[in-house]
């Protein structure tokens, strides 16, 4: 019903909450318990806390380059919450909220951004692929897993993410085409945060929307208000259910905004105006969800204040543990690129060992 109501061509966003947290599509409100609603809000706060602390750590020289998620929490948390335990999450590098929902430990997140290879080693039962930095390359992996699920007769669905800039890569088009032809159970989510580093969305493509690209590949597409956690959950849930029943892939454009920098190596003031950022701050997904929860009498200031303190304490203690005990072994950089180390890496590893021996 949601996809039938919302044509991907045009600027009609699928939305359940308005900017003030009021319900505008009562029939589409998910039937969450109060505990679930607070858990979703807790996860959004957790993501925001991790981001703010990581930016601080990087500025202090205690962490490598980091990609913040600030402003995109509803897109990630809402969509990931629609997944089941055995569904696969195939991320790029800006899906912190989705990682948290899918059970990626905070320790792993810190290990990765700290430069330790073990950050990509997921616990047993956590079906999340490692972070993929090459733009849009993860979409091919997602389609491959979906096709494998069909061959094996499994009912698991794959949810994968890409930025608006990634839609200009050949990998994006190849993955969508294969997924549609072979009816792979994949949900493609474009996090349209308006900028591919410094390149704005308006010069990324001539298409009126990114969601309309679904039409060319013969799959459903929808433009969703990415700052509305309920809309993201509902649209993704419908797409996942269709995929699980053999209906093939779906393309979702989550219309959101990157409030911070592309990474901590980026200076967004060079390519966008502060006035634009301030307008989007008024649409902050956490603020919108908070208004809804307070209107319903579910959220109290005391609960939020205590939660923020607890989350900050957990983030701080976990990072300090990694910082004090997590030296990266150079050998690991060579060991985990391939199942069997190829000759050229064996040679480089031996050169490194010889260098160490010569320095003693």
What is the DSSP secondary-structure string of 36-83?
HHHHHHHHHHHHHHHHHHHHHHHHTTSS------TT-HHHHHHHHTTS
Distance separating alpha carbons of residues 32 and 271, to the nearest angstrom = 40
**In terms of C-beta density within 10 A (0-12 exposed, 13-18 middle, 19 or more buried), how is residue 56 classed?**
exposed
Catalytic residue of the set 59, 121, 271, 337 = 271
Residue 157, SS3 per DSSP: coil
Distance separating alpha carbons of residues 188 and 194, to the nearest angstrom = 17
Distance separating alpha carbons of residues 344 and 248, to the nearest angstrom = 41
Catalytic residue of the set 13, 127, 141, 258 = 258
Q: At what angle do helices 34-59 and 73-80 cross, to 10 degrees?
A: 130
Distance separating alpha carbons of residues 167 and 205, to the nearest angstrom = 9
Going by the DSSP 8-state scheme, the letter that residue 226 receives in this structure is T
What is the DSSP secondary-structure string of 94-155?
--HHHHHHTT--HHHHHHHHHT-GGGG-PPTT--BPPP--STTHHHHHHHHHHHHHHHHT--
> Is residue 173 among the annotated active site residues?
no
Q: What phi and psi, each to the nearest 5 degrees, are found at residue 356?
A: -65, -45
Q: What phi and psi, each to the nearest 5 degrees, are found at residue 331?
A: -60, -35
Longest dimension (CA), the chain: 71
Catalytic residue of the set 262, 288, 344, 352 = 262
E strand or H helix at 275: helix 274-281
Query: What is the token pair recorded at 317?
Result: 């203690």
> Is residue 258 among the annotated active site residues?
yes
Catalytic residues: 258, 262, 271
């Amino acid at each position: 019903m949601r996809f039938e109501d919302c044509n991907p061509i045009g600027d009609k966003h699928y939305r359940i909450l308005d900017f003030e947290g009021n319900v505008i599509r009562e029939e589409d409100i998910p039937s969450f318990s109060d505990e679930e609603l607070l858990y979703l809000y807790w996860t959004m706060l957790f993501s925001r806390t991790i981001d703010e602390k990581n930016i601080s750590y990087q500025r202090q020289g205690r962490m490598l380059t980091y990609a913040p998620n600030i402003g995109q929490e509803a897109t990630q948390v809402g969509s990931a919450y629609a997944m089941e335990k055995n569904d696969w999450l195939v991320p790029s590098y800006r899906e912190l909220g989705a990682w948290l929902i899918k059970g990626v430990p905070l320790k792993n997140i810190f290990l990765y951004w700290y430069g330790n290879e073990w950050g990509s080693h997921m616990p047993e039962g956590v079906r999340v692929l490692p972070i993929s930095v090459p733009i849009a390359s993860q979409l091919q992996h997602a389609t491959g897993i979906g096709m494998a699920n069909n061959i094996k007769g499994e009912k698991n669905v794959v949810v994968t993410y890409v930025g608006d800039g990634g839609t200009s890569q050949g990998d994006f088009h190849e993955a969508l085409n294969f997924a549609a032809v072979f009816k792979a159970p994949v949900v493609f989510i474009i996090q349209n945060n308006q900028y591919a580093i410094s390149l704005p969305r308006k010069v990324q493509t001539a298409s009126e929307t990114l969601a309309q690209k679904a039409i060319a590949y013969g799959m459903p597409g929808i433009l969703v208000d990415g700052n509305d956690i309920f809309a993201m959950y509902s649209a993704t849930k419908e797409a996942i259910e269709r995929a699980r029943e053999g209906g093939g892939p779906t393309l979702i454009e989550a219309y959101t905004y990157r409030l911070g920098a592309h990474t901590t190596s980026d200076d967004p003031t060079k390519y966008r105006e502060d006035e634009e950022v301030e307008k989007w701050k008024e649409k902050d997904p956490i603020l919108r969800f908070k208004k809804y929860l307070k209107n319903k009498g579910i959220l109290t200031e005391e609960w939020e204040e205590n939660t923020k303190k607890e989350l900050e304490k957990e983030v701080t203690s976990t990072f300090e543990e990694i910082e004090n005990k997590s030296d990266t072994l150079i050998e690991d950089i060579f060991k985990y690129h391939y199942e069997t180390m190829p000759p050229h890496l064996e040679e480089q590893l031996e050169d490194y060992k010889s260098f160490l021996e010569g320095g003693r």
